[in-house]
Structure 1
């Protein structure tokens, strides 16, 4: 309680000081404006500490409010509002949980194979099932798709085979070459009688041409925006974005991973050059979980439910067994920070190695400490990140974590062949995660994400091999050289780290 009172008084003091200075200098209407602004800042500050945020978030907001009140005020309304999160998504959370219960009673094969797992992966998948309400499957076939050419060629090929329905959910959709190819295929499938439903994120796809949407809608594609923003500054949902990338075809084939719909993912953007990314094709039992995630998001966006056997029938078991596959959705509607908690468990239960590839590395204290302790314990801990940025604040902020990690024994590699966008965690060469979740606080706490967790599958070994190939074209960070960065760059990086909790 004392901390809350102290924070409140500090905000009040900073805001009041700003107000009186402005009034003394300007007086008149500007003085009244500064008074109103001060009152707003005090109210916002009170809301922030009532939310019991991480201290780093709280301090960052206080500094911005105190030094740049107007900018801080705008930033808060765009990126900072977490209040009423539970109320906004409470209905979605309970409906999602009830829906997952329907599929959490699978064949005895899954139960038997689960009991045969080693102790630490068994505990991990138990945690994932408890947090994400999603069962593990041993009759699901997965295939790693490396980069855009392989990913989009397989997606288009499978879309053309659709007979009953196509469900798509993406953060970014662009009206460019690959976006046009996708649009043409969807239009053709609708004309063939296939039902097509499409969710795009209103913020991630804000540049998507209305003509693109209208053309799809006019031929019968049901296309909706997730979290539409009519008044962005007054919209409680602005900060909570749908970062998922999901395709489900006839309930039997699914795709998920790191690639959105855009030409840059094919390496056609000269600003990025070659785009290194990873996607996953799924066949069999676990596709139903992807289907359920999509249908839940569809219901949230439209109030129309399709949670029926027509869409949720169990896919026929494959003729041979595969390793364990578990699809996990996470987001601000969850009771727990699901995917972050699973990452933490993966790192802390590792016995030999932890390999991570992430384009955006701004971890919270839990993950940061877990990685350092793992390296200090003698484990082979490696981090693969881009050498060149696409989001400069996050890029520079990530570099402030390097000195401590290098000192602890973490090996850090910067990818040289273009832009690295893969989101991979590999533990002990046996357990892996692939999906949409970045190793940053936005993915952990604010975005709707989806990840596949793989245990002793052929895809797991494929990810290991790809990681080793990526290391070959990367430059390892040397601690002595890295600490010699000029002071201006260090100040920039520290400033970006201070701002990173706000974004």
Structure 2
């Protein structure tokens, strides 16, 4: 009898000691921000030991320095432009050939100083909001390639769309075009080596970002490459929200029509896209390093007059660069702020900035989906949306399928389109990339897309929000507690 009752007591005591040790590591060694620390402490308290296993998979940063010591991280090919632009922006008498660019010198300088994000001005940008049109154009560009194709997606599925793209890439590799495919191991977890056998045999190269060392579990779940980048011959490139899979064509019943925003870019901004791809590729494909050869940075003719910066961020960065870019845009707003995002889980600085903007008469409009693809994230989103409603913002619930685009437009002049959601994962943990665009014409095109989306959305009122049931309120409360780590 003694042993029968004593064993659970010893186990409980051991678990308590282990949990205290884990909590001490979290507080004194990891030293996360206070909100994230409290969220993880709650998990450790309510589910001892199991909570720490979850933390090891999703939260720990003890090995971050070792993981993110990329080799040869340099903005090779852009150094002279970066130095030149720093001098120009610091000269108060220097004027760019754009009032929008001049007005946003501080934002441009911040990205240039902290991210080496060079400003390029003679770009042509085409906006795609429909998957069928975007991938039809991408396939046409792939089939016209002559020298190289660099293609990177977080999710790459081997379904109808994925197979069509792989087949097109394989054919170009057979023709002698240098084709490199980079995808994230977790995002593309359904991808198998056999699917790419013909591609490799044709001469195509494959890079996998942070592949798992184990068959089932990836111990680096937290740090994923969420970027979507394409560069073809240095003549055209892509950046935006679409991944590769049939759901992005609206063919999955669960989501219905897939609403996203992607950019096709022609012009000197491709050099920045190329640099970003090479850095990611050389980290992932260690046996097939790319050198910064001139053939990957060809001379580019002027294709338009859209100024932009390609800005990246991730856990290897000292600053939360894309979030800081959002914050600066919001702080500089004078008339309007428009946001479209699948997840709205801002940290306190971003939430305060948006609330202050709304309370000072700036028109703030936010559009979110009417359905979740990640349950806790969705309920955390609706919780934060309630605070924006109280501040006077207009909230739209998209009803025509699933909205996934990551768009911010300020004062009908400056916009940001890319891969970063408004949540802690995108700001701190994922590797992301956005285009910051200083062009009223592009901003107005994005606003027109937003207006069309409003026609298939529901305006969320305070009355509708307050009428939600107790069950939903409970889900929101729990999800909000976990929001710093979602």
TM class by shorter chain equals over 0.9
8 Å contact kept, 1:78–1:233: no
What secondary structure is seen at the aligned counterpart in 2 of 1:140? Answer: strand
Provide the C-alpha distance between the structure 1 equivalents of 2:327 and 2:138, rounded to a whole number of angstroms.
32
Shift of 1:73: 1.8
In structure 1, the residue matched to 2:410 is: 427
8 Å contact kept, 2:117–2:272: yes
In structure 2, the residue matched to 1:223 is: 206
Which residues of 2 match residues 88-487 of structure 1 at below 5 A?
A: 88-91=67-70, 95-96=73-74, 101=79, 103-104=81-82, 114=96, 116-117=98-99, 120-231=103-214, 237-303=220-286, 304-318=289-303, 321-456=304-439, 458-487=441-470
More helix by share: 1
Residues 391, 205 of structure 1: CA spacing in aligned structure 2 closer, same or farther, 3 A cutoff? same
Provide the C-alpha distance between the structure 1 equivalents of 2:443 and 2:264, rounded to a whole number of angstroms.
13
Moved more, 336-345 or 134-143: 134-143
8 Å contact kept, 1:437–1:451: yes
Moved more, 472-481 or 156-165: 472-481
Shift of 1:105: 5.2
Residues 465, 236 of structure 1: CA spacing in aligned structure 2 closer, same or farther, 3 A cutoff? same
Shift of 1:99: 6.6
Provide the C-alpha distance between the structure 2 equivalents of 1:430 and 1:179, rounded to a whole number of angstroms.
36
Residues 366, 354 of structure 1: CA spacing in aligned structure 2 closer, same or farther, 3 A cutoff? same
Shift of 1:238: 2.7
8 Å contact kept, 2:76–2:275: no
8 Å contact kept, 2:330–2:337: yes
Shift of 1:234: 8.6
What secondary structure is seen at the aligned counterpart in 1 of 2:437? Answer: strand
Residues 313, 43 of structure 1: CA spacing in aligned structure 2 closer, same or farther, 3 A cutoff? farther
What do the CA deviations read for 1:236-292 (whole angstroms, capped 9, x no partner)?
Answer: 633110000011001121011000000000000011111111110000100110010
In structure 2, the residue matched to 1:44 is: 22
TM-score when scaled to structure 1? 0.89
Provide the C-alpha distance between the structure 2 equivalents of 1:89 and 1:241, rounded to a whole number of angstroms.
12
Provide the C-alpha distance between the structure 2 equivalents of 1:27 and 1:308, rounded to a whole number of angstroms.
69
Provide the C-alpha distance between the structure 1 equivalents of 2:78 and 2:268, rounded to a whole number of angstroms.
14
Provide the C-alpha distance between the structure 1 equivalents of 2:98 and 2:142, rounded to a whole number of angstroms.
37
Provide the C-alpha distance between the structure 2 equivalents of 1:275 and 1:254, rounded to a whole number of angstroms.
22
Shift of 1:101: 2.8
Provide the C-alpha distance between the structure 1 equivalents of 2:228 and 2:188, rounded to a whole number of angstroms.
13
8 Å contact kept, 2:231–2:238: yes
What do the CA deviations read for 1:359-394 (whole angstroms, capped 9, x no partner)?
Answer: 011111111111100000100001000011111110
8 Å contact kept, 2:212–2:219: no
Moved more, 382-391 or 66-75: 66-75
Provide the C-alpha distance between the structure 2 equivalents of 1:104 and 1:464, rounded to a whole number of angstroms.
31
8 Å contact kept, 1:201–1:225: yes
Gaps of 5+ in 2: none
What secondary structure is seen at the aligned counterpart in 2 of 1:139? Answer: strand
Residues 71, 453 of structure 1: CA spacing in aligned structure 2 closer, same or farther, 3 A cutoff? same
Moved more, 113-122 or 259-268: 113-122
Provide the C-alpha distance between the structure 1 equivalents of 2:347 and 2:179, rounded to a whole number of angstroms.
39
Shift of 1:209: 3.0
Moved more, 119-128 or 178-187: 119-128
Shift of 1:486: 1.6
Moved more, 303-312 or 183-192: 303-312
Residues 494, 144 of structure 1: CA spacing in aligned structure 2 closer, same or farther, 3 A cutoff? same
In structure 2, the residue matched to 1:84 is: 63
Residues 116, 247 of structure 1: CA spacing in aligned structure 2 closer, same or farther, 3 A cutoff? closer
Q: 2:54 aligns with which of 46, 58, 75?
A: 75
What secondary structure is seen at the aligned counterpart in 1 of 2:319? Answer: coil
Provide the C-alpha distance between the structure 1 equivalents of 2:485 and 2:11, rounded to a whole number of angstroms.
25
Residues 475, 198 of structure 1: CA spacing in aligned structure 2 closer, same or farther, 3 A cutoff? same
Structure 2 residue 49 is matched with structure 1 residue 61: no
Provide the C-alpha distance between the structure 2 equivalents of 1:247 and 1:113, rounded to a whole number of angstroms.
32
CA RMSD for the aligned pairs? 2.4
What do the CA deviations read for 1:145-193 (whole angstroms, capped 9, x no partner)?
Answer: 1210111011001011100000011100111110011011001101111
Provide the C-alpha distance between the structure 2 equivalents of 1:422 and 1:67, rounded to a whole number of angstroms.
35
Shift of 1:348: 0.7
Gaps of 5+ in 1: 1-22
Provide the C-alpha distance between the structure 2 equivalents of 1:42 and 1:215, rounded to a whole number of angstroms.
52
Shift of 1:125: 1.2
8 Å contact kept, 2:344–2:385: no
Residues 201, 470 of structure 1: CA spacing in aligned structure 2 closer, same or farther, 3 A cutoff? same
Moved more, 230-239 or 272-281: 230-239
Provide the C-alpha distance between the structure 2 equivalents of 1:40 and 1:233, rounded to a whole number of angstroms.
26
Provide the C-alpha distance between the structure 1 equivalents of 2:265 and 2:457, rounded to a whole number of angstroms.
29
Provide the C-alpha distance between the structure 2 equivalents of 1:116 and 1:317, rounded to a whole number of angstroms.
16
Provide the C-alpha distance between the structure 2 equivalents of 1:91 and 1:291, rounded to a whole number of angstroms.
16
